[in-house]
Amino acid sequence: MAIGRRNSGKFKQDGILSQMGKDAKLPISQSSAVAVACEGREQRAKYREEQAAKAAAKPRMSFYVPR
C-alpha cells in the first residue's frame, strides 16, 4: 500500500488546496492567486464594456424574410 501513496493525486490535491487557503488569507497585494483572479475580473469587465459599445455603435443587420 505504500508504493502509490507518496505520489498519489490526493496528496497533491491537498497541497494545492492548502496553498490556495493560505493565499486567500493573505492581503491581495501579497497573494498571487487572488491578485490574478482580481486582475482577470477587471480585464473581463473592460472587454465586456468594449463589446457593448461596439454592439451599440454598429447593430447587426438581418436580411431574413420569413415566408
Residue 24 has which C-alpha cell?
486567500
Residue 48 has pLDDT above 80, yes or no: yes
pTM of the model: 0.42
* Nearest to 32, CA basis, from 23, 19, 21, 41: 23
Going from N- to C-terminal start, the domains of the chain cover: 25-56
Amino acid identity of residue 58, one-letter, is K
Say yes or no to pLDDT of 47 above 90.
yes
Q: Are 24 and 34 in contact (CB under 8 A)?
A: yes
Are 5 and 11 within 8 A, CB to CB? yes
Q: What average pLDDT does this structure show over 43-63?
A: 88
Residue 23: pLDDT over 90: no
What pLDDT score does 45 carry? 92
When comparing pLDDT for 30 and 26, which is higher? 26
In the chain, the amino acid numbered 8 is S
Mean pLDDT of the chain: 79
